[in-house]
Chains A and B, each alone.
Chain A
Amino acid sequence: MSNPDESNWIAPEVLSGIRQQFFAECSDHISVLEAGLLELSAGHNDWEIINTIFRAAHSIKGGAATFGVEGLQHFAHELESPLARFREHHTFPSPAAIKVLLHAIDLLADMTRAALDGGCLAQDQIDSCVRELSTIEHAPIAEPASQVSKRSGSDNAFEDIGFVPAQAEFVEIASEPQHFRVRFRPHGELYARANDPLPLLRALKRLGEAEVTLDADSLPLLSELDHNEGYLFWTIDLLTAHDEAQIREVFEFVEQECELEIVCISSVAPAPENSLSPQKPEAPPQSNSPVPTQTPTSKGTQLSSTLRVNLDRLDRLMNLVSELVISEATLCEYAPPETDTHPNFPKALDDIKMLTRDLQESVMAIRAQPVRTVFQRLPRLVRDIEMATGKEVHLVMEGEDTEVDRTLIEGLNDPLTHMIRNAIDHGIEDAATRVKAGKSQKGLLRVSAAHRAGRLIVEITDDGQGLDRERIRSIAVERGVIGAEDVLSNEEIDSVIFQPGFSTSEKVTDISGRGVGLDVVNRSVQALGGRIAVSSRPGLGTTFSLSLPLTLAVLDGMLVSVCAQGLVVPLTNLLETVPLSTENLLQLGANTELLAIRGRHVPLVDLGALFEYRPPAPIKAEGVAVLVEADTGQQIALIVDDILDQRQVVIKALDIDTHPMEGIAAATVLGNGRVALILDINAIVALRRPKGTPAERLAADG
């Protein structure tokens, strides 16, 4: 283990001076930690304090690492971990935790002093403090989980060779030099981060005797040269006593941006004449041709049926396909009407539509992964929640092989976590209550994934007590989410839990976290192009279902115009369009209008006024109404200025959170380059405000 103290790079007196400086800095960091914790214990819960004390602990750790003070480094790491969790989950330490942390800081100060003096503390004292630290706030672990899904699902070449060691170890050099053939073909991306083949080749040369040959056959004509692409391909014959891992290490930073193949040709030192011949090397002994599609390991013997693809390239392909969908929409928008001179045009356009869709699905399929990577971390999550709540849960997972786009996989993590927390925290009763109700002692939690009607359906079902509708109702009224006199159906009450500003947690449990309501889950799901719904039977259980598009980020919708703003009504909510006339417009009272349709009456909602695009005005018997239905089954009619056409749009997330935007799920870019907002019908239905006065509530009716 190399130690800076033993290096010959720094004069010892200089090093010791710098080291003293480090310990002085440690004192400063410790003071910061102490001050921060004392403020927190006085009740000043401020995110900045958490950030500051985390950074202080992290700096101590980093500094200790730099100066080789291992004991301090490890202890600082134990101190840093709970602080990192608070920071990440936006939680604050409890008084008990603060006590433990303060004690740890005292120990840290002692350790620093001891290190300065050259002594050390009693190990059992340190160990018991470390134990205490590890019991702080057992917050559910989201970060390592996403690492799990990334690790098992990604194409990251690094995972194959495991972690690069944190420090260069003094390696045993094999006593006999071996002959390796290294084939190295950088991709364009390699140059994007200022990496350069030349120093890498030079580094290889430092490992032994090397003969480098350049293959420039792929170099196109100068006029066709794309300076962002890689066209050059090197073969290096290397005679070295180092092993393959050390050779590979040279390419450590660029392994994802190149094709790399290291083959050991012989393990006996070859006779000098034929070892490194200056001619162009023939094809490597075990493969057919230097085709980059081979898996880049030294054991590749035949063309495999899978292909290693650079992830950035795949993303680029996906983006191109998305842009293609938009362009295709443009084409459709400007398509001339069917004429005799171009009878085949509409059909040609339809063909393009279908081809684009197929292309999109095919590319999606390349990126598809089984949901197993998400499900894998659920047992641990459930166990953690069990321990924290004291409830017993039996977890059943189904459909782990269901395939889903990899970006969706990452997006699924948080919603799943929150819904499972909810199910166990609020749904499933404790063992005693369950037994009294005649249920099994352990609650049942079923998480399933399946493809249905071209979408991915993920369901979380528990057999707990179901949603407490009375409580939901009263909290909703208390929080102003609904009016006291409003009459809601059971389904409507159930859906209220997705409204912003609604949360049934009276105290902040460390499970449910702070400020994360189901409305945040709802928005995340919508940003993925999906929807979330809940159904519940009192005493029997609750089911949350997530419906996500398999063709990610695309939505079929109807484009409408309101106050010259383009809005998209998702087709799944759309029932029909109805021109308004004096016959079907019914005025009720001063502020309510209804649309009469086939014997029923449906509330009319003036979108322009609701979104405050224009001041409220009486609804006239002109224009068009769009009849839509929410997941709850409730129907309303949206008044729009114009109906344009039906089209498929690419969903773009709307990352603006300066103010609540109920009623909007996401955004899209139209063929003409302008942005159109995608409506959230469930939210609009829940808003139920009449035109004019936001404070009034619509009187209960159908």
Chain B
Amino acid sequence: MAERALSPKTPTASARELMSFRLGTQMFCVDAIAVKEVRNWSQATLLPRSPSYLRGVINLRGIILPIVDIGVLMGLAPNDATDDRVIIVVWVQKRLVGLLVDEVCDLVTAPQEAVETTSDLTGEAIHTIVRELITVEGAVLGIISLEQVMPRREGSSA
């Protein structure tokens, strides 16, 4: 154990663990540490007059879990939500949210140096959600910025 301890004066964040998933033909990923579990898509209960990215809520062992169609947030077409779709349950600021994706691919570990921020992109909706890119084995994945997924409404109690 002691050999793995880093020297006290130079702490470095060595690596980032990410879970990659597919939306249509594109691949994205989220920080693995924020992922609670992955489950199959099941019919969600609709919420009245909800925005198109909010697909409804499901019961997760007693917790009411909102399901976000993450593709819609990025400007893609709404997910057709067939039975083989997958929900990635993630922590977003102390709440649980389900992300609707086509399929979960892999757990990847990449060094922090492989991450670049996408401050150059402008204008598109996707830029709010994807703030970093990571290159893994030649492929470039957008890293979903989870705090942007379910922002709180102005004036609501935290």
Contact = CB atoms under 8 A, between A and B. Distances in A.
B45 interface: yes
Interface string A644-679: 000000001111111101011001010001111100
A421 B45 CA distance: 38
A323 B54 CA distance: 27
A674 B45 contact: yes
A611 interface: yes
* Most chain A CB within a 10 A radius of its CB, from B43, B62, B64, B157: B64
Interface string A514-550: 1110001000000000000000000000000000000
Contact of A611 (B46, B54, B156): B46
A656 B59 contact: no
Interface in A287-325: 319, 323
A320 B155 CA distance: 35
Given A323-B62, A654-B57, A659 B156 contact: no
B45 A675 contact: yes
Contacts of B45: 565-566, 667, 674-677
Contact of A673 (B59, B66, B153, B155): B59
B33 interface: no
Contacts, number: 77
Determine the interface band of chain B, counting residues with CB < 8 A from chain A.
20 to 34
A659 B153 contact: yes
Interface in B33-86: 43-51, 54, 56-59, 62-64, 66
A565 B48 CA distance: 10
* Most chain B CB within a 10 A radius of its CB, from A520, A654, A669, A676: A669
B114 interface: no
Contacts of B157: 516, 520
Contacts of A659: 49-51, 54, 153
Contacts of B48: 610-613, 661, 663-664, 677
A323 B43 CA distance: 21
Given A610-B48, A661-B48, A674 B153 contact: no
A243 to B, nearest CB: 38
A563 interface: yes
B49 A661 contact: yes
A664 B48 CA distance: 8
Contacts of B57: 654, 656, 667, 675
Contact of A674 (B59, B151, B154): B59
Given A673-B59, A675-B64, A655 B49 contact: no
B107 interface: no
Interface residues of A, number: 31
Contacts of A610: 48
A514 B156 CA distance: 11
A613 B46 contact: yes
A674 B45 CA distance: 7
* Most chain A CB within a 10 A radius of its CB, from B44, B45, B157: B45
B47 A677 contact: yes
Given A515-B155, A520-B157, A667-B57, A656 B47 contact: yes
A657 B152 contact: yes
B49 A675 contact: no
* Most chain B CB within a 10 A radius of its CB, from A319, A566, A656, A659: A656
Interface in A607-622: 610-613
Interface string B118-154: 0000000000000000000000000000000011111
19 contacts: A611-B48, A612-B49, A652-B62, A652-B63, A653-B64, A654-B64, A655-B64, A656-B54, A658-B150, A658-B151, A659-B51, A661-B48, A667-B57, A674-B43, A674-B45, A674-B59, A675-B64, A676-B45, A677-B45
Interface of A: 319, 323, 514-516, 520, 563, 565-566, 610-613, 652-659, 661, 663-664, 667, 669, 673-677
Given A515-B154, A669-B62, 15 more contacts: A520-B156, A566-B45, A612-B49, A652-B64, A655-B64, A656-B47, A658-B153, A659-B49, A663-B48, A667-B45, A667-B64, A669-B64, A674-B58, A675-B59, A675-B64
